[in-house]
Amino acid sequence: MNINSNTKLIGLLGQPVSQSFSPSIHNYLSQKYKKNNIYMCFEIEKNNLQNVALGIKTFNMKGCNVTIPYKVEIIPYLDKVEKNALLIGAVNTIKNVNDELIGYNTDGIGFIKSLKDEGYSLKDKKVIILGAGGACRSIAVELANHEVSYIEIRNRSEKNAKCICDLINSNFQSKTNYNIKPVEENDLNSFDILINTTPIGMESKDCPIDVNINPPKNLLVCDIVYKPHETTLLSWAKKNNLNVVYGINMLINQGLLAYEIWENIKTSEDDLKEIKNIYFNSLK
């Protein structure tokens, strides 16, 4: 990578970010498309978000990704928020346009593409989502956009889950409800897809559900955690002969969409394949 006086900075804002694969995605894309950018990670504290937003302008950064736990909290410090991201109420991509910070959300679209890439249809499906953070909001909205019939959100606290349910029920035909209880075996019999949007399982062997549960045989299990590649949740699913969708698929797809926003270009399916190869080589 040839860094010079014209190199533009793109960053990842969050906590933690030290194990992120995003620099590999975006530095690969800049190299391939001959864009003079460098992508770096910044671990920041919540009380610094306003200063961070000012810093994006001050240092004339091209933009940023936003990850856990700031996808919602960053919004008040942006100048504009794209319509879909405003509906979702969470931002994972920021573009700096002439000192104006514009927020977007590519999470949900990236997740849906990861399912479609594997040949799954969403229309009329029933989905249970674990967690009620920014990723859940974006995924739930895109699921509703793709006409799933029902979404249930499981979260330990009621406030965020209720807010997402109100959002879906007010804007889409899909029906949504929430429950603050842990998932039990009988709960899963009514669903086609289980999605973990919590960080549980990231860099640990924890699992967001009881691994002694015997799931229905046709349940599709998805985890947005990508490190480790095979989380405890996905190991449980495979042990029970269920189909799974890995978190790295969503990460790469949402990253490709973010890069298209920053550079006004169209990435290719070959990019997805090449970045996956980089990812799997990094696991060796």
CATH number of domain containing 125: 3.40.50.720
State residue 25's pLDDT score. 98
Domain identity same for 207 and 83: no
Annotated binding site for shikimate: 20-22, 67, 92, 107, 226, 254
Confidence of residue 75 (pLDDT cuts 50, 70, 90): very high
State residue 131's pLDDT score. 97
Residues with Cβ within 8 Å of residue 237, at least 6 apart in sequence: 215, 219, 221, 243, 244
Domain identity same for 231 and 146: yes
User: Does the pLDDT at position 112 exceed 90?
Assistant: yes
Domain identity same for 80 and 209: no
What mean pLDDT value characterizes the chain? 95
Q: What is the mean pLDDT of residues 159-167?
A: 96
- Would residue 2 count as lying in a domain? no
Q: What is the mean pLDDT of residues 197-221?
A: 94
In this predicted model, what pLDDT tens digit does every residue of 4-36 receive, in sequence order? Answer: 999 999 999 999 898 899 999 999 999 999 999
Confidence of residue 233 (pLDDT cuts 50, 70, 90): very high
Domain identity same for 226 and 131: yes
Confidence of residue 46 (pLDDT cuts 50, 70, 90): confident
Confidence of residue 102 (pLDDT cuts 50, 70, 90): very high
State residue 1's pLDDT score. 66
State which residues form the domain around 20.
Answer: 8-104+249-283
Confidence of residue 164 (pLDDT cuts 50, 70, 90): very high
87 φ/ψ sector (left φ>0, alpha ψ -120 to 50, else beta):
alpha
Strands of 37-43's sheet, edge to edge? 37-43, 8-14, 63-66, 93-97, 100-104, 80-81
State residue 68's pLDDT score. 86
Identified catalytic residue from 71, 95, 113, 125: 71
Q: Is 276 helix (H, G, I), strand (E, B) or coil?
A: helix
Amino acid at 50: Q
177: which strand partners? 152
Count of domains observed in the chain: 2
User: Does the pLDDT at position 284 exceed 90?
Assistant: no
Domain identity same for 238 and 158: yes
Domain identity same for 58 and 85: yes
State residue 203's pLDDT score. 77
Domain identity same for 13 and 122: no
Write the CATH number for 16: 3.40.50.10860
User: Does the pLDDT at position 215 exceed 70?
Assistant: yes
pTM for this predicted structure: 0.93
State residue 213's pLDDT score. 96
Q: Is 71 among the residues known to form the active site? A: yes
Annotated binding site: 20-22, 67, 92, 107, 131-135, 224, 226, 247, 254
User: Does the pLDDT at position 234 exceed 90?
Assistant: yes
Annotated binding site for NADP(+): 131-135, 224, 247
Q: What is the mean pLDDT of residues 218-243?
A: 96
- Would residue 98 count as lying in a domain? yes
- Would residue 3 count as lying in a domain? no
Cβ neighbour number for residue 238 with a 10 Å cutoff: 13
Please list the helix, strand and coil fractions of the chain in percent, rounded to the nearest 5, in that order. 40, 20, 40
Domain identity same for 162 and 197: yes
